[in-house]
């Protein structure tokens, strides 16, 4: 029991240290990519690893990144391999660590770093396409919020006394709109921070808890957005797994790295089940059939390509081709996304504004009708 307790304490301390390190690395995503690209360039120029790290340390202007460079260089100078020094920082993904480790052990570190830099550029370009595609929906939703706040904060307060003076029972929609308007006008100092605090809380729940499963489930079911997210995820599947296999990483280890770097929960579980099946000696065909709903996550065409690659011994090449195919598909979907979402967003915006207008006009119309009668 004492040994178990000590082990649990060690794991807990390690988890806390990892979490603190992760917080310290916030905002260094671009620096992580630049590290791989610059190191690949210097290694291909023939510089020793320690000189490469020293050069990168001198060139960087970011203090946290300079500290990471220094710690990696100190570790390498003490005789540790580069992959171990990088892994100790809890800054690089298992995918990067695996490629660096294989490169060092096989004597092809410069080549692996060059390939890794190329793949990271493709991955970053794909992420940028997804972000750019989401700009239009975000702008429309912000405009909807501004319109609703304007109606509720400036228009309704002046009309509420008029609606009350008309007499008679107000419709349910009108009472709801008035209640919301009164809440924000009378309790604005509490309501507005509460709304933004709720949004922040949802964001933190998405990042640190299993609530992300709910948000990801919703995203994958939005027309257009879900298709884009699925195509981008399949493209990353091909890039990461194909790149690892091409670098010489064993299949089971490559699947472990793929599982660890995947942020989509449902896909991470799927990759874990595939890894379990392959580690037991099963073929991809048998493994895919044993996983319920596998064709929803990986289309049948993709699964067939994987099976062909497995049978022909060219799995890495096939996976990289899958990545290219779905990268193009994701680019096309990203370009079409505003056209797909525009009718839905306009209907949503019109319905919301129309509901508020209906709540205002309906009582006035009833009174005018009763006067006419």
Rounded to 10°, the helix 265-279/225-246 angle is 30
**CA torsion through residues 141, 142, 144, 148, sign:** positive
Cα–Cα distances in Å, from 297 out to 129, 216, 220, 234, 260? 21, 13, 11, 8, 17
Residue 271 pLDDT class (50, 70, 90 cuts): very high
Give the per-residue pLDDT at 278: 92
Q: Where are the domains of the chain?
A: 2-121, 134-373
Quick count: other Cβ atoms within 10 Å of Cβ 195? Answer: 13
Over residues 351-362, the pLDDT tens digits come to 877 777 777 777
Residue with the larger pLDDT of the pair 43 and 116: 43
End-to-end CA distance of the chain: 86
Give the per-residue pLDDT at 226: 86
- Non-local (6+) Cβ contacts of 136 within 8 A are 337, 338, 341, 342
Question: What does pLDDT average to over the chain?
Answer: 78
Cα–Cα distances in Å, from 48 out to 79, 224, 269, 351? 14, 48, 40, 64
Over residues 201-241, the pLDDT tens digits come to 877 777 777 778 888 888 888 888 888 889 888 988 988 88
**CA torsion through residues 165, 169, 172, 176, sign:** positive
**Count, residues in the chain:** 373
Residue 348 pLDDT class (50, 70, 90 cuts): confident
Structure tokens belonging to residue 93: 């993904």
Instruction: Name the nearest CA neighbour of 241 among 186, 305, 195, 190.
Output: 305
Give the per-residue pLDDT at 325: 92
Q: Which of the listed CATH numbers 1.20.81.30, 3.40.50.300, 2.40.50.140, 3.90.1010.10 matches domain 134-373? A: 1.20.81.30
Give the per-residue pLDDT at 18: 45
Say yes or no to pLDDT of 172 above 60.
Answer: yes
Residue 43 pLDDT class (50, 70, 90 cuts): confident
Say yes or no to pLDDT of 293 above 90.
Answer: no
Over residues 125-134, the pLDDT tens digits come to 767 776 777 7
CA angle 24, 28, 34 (to 5 degrees): 145
pTM comes to: 0.69
**Rounded distance, CA 260 to CA 256, Å?**
6
CATH architecture label of 2-121: Up-down Bundle (1.20)
Residue with the larger pLDDT of the pair 69 and 364: 69
Give the per-residue pLDDT at 308: 92
């Amino acid at each position: 029991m004492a040994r178990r307790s000590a082990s649990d304490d060690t794991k807990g301390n390690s988890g806390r240290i990892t979490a603190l390190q992760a917080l310290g690395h916030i905002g260094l995503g671009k620096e992580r990519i630049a590290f791989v690209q610059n190191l690949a360039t210097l290694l291909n120029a023939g510089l020793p690893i320690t000189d490469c790290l020293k050069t990168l340390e001198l060139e960087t202007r970011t203090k946290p990144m300079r500290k990471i460079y220094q710690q990696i260089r100190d570790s390498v100078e003490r005789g540790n391999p580069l992959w171990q020094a990088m892994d100790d920082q809890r800054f690089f993904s298992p995918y990067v660590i695996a490629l660096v480790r294989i490169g060092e052990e096989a004597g092809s570190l410069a080549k692996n770093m060059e390939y890794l830099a190329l793949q990271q550029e493709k991955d970053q370009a794909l992420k940028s396409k997804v972000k750019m595609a989401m700009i239009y929906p975000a702008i429309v939703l912000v405009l909807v919020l501004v319109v609703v706040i304007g109606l509720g904060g400036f228009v309704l307060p002046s009309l509420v006394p008029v609606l009350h003076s008309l007499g008679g029972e107000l419709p349910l929609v009108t009472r709801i709109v008035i209640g919301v308007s009164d809440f924000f006008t009378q309790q604005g100092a509490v309501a507005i921070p509460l709304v933004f605090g709720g949004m922040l809380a949802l964001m933190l729940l998405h990042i640190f808890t299993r609530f992300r499963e709910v948000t990801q489930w919703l995203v994958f079911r939005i027309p257009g957005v879900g298709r884009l997210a699925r195509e981008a995820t399949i493209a990353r599947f091909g890039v990461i797994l194909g790149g690892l296999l091409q670098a010489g990483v064993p299949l089971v280890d490559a699947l472990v790295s793929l599982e660890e770097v995947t942020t989509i929960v449902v896909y991470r579980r799927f990759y874990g089940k595939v890894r379990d099946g392959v580690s037991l000696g099963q073929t991809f065909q048998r493994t895919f059939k044993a996983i319920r709903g596998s064709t929803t996550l990986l289309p049948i065409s993709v699964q067939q390509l994987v099976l062909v690659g497995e049978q022909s011994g060219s799995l890495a090449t096939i996976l990289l081709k899958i990545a290219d195919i779905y990268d193009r598909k994701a680019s096309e979907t990203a370009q079409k996304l505003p056209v797909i979402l525009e009718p839905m967003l306009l209907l949503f915006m019109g319905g919301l504004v129309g509901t508020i207008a209906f709540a205002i006009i309906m009582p006035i119309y009833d009174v005018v009708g009763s006067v006419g009668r």
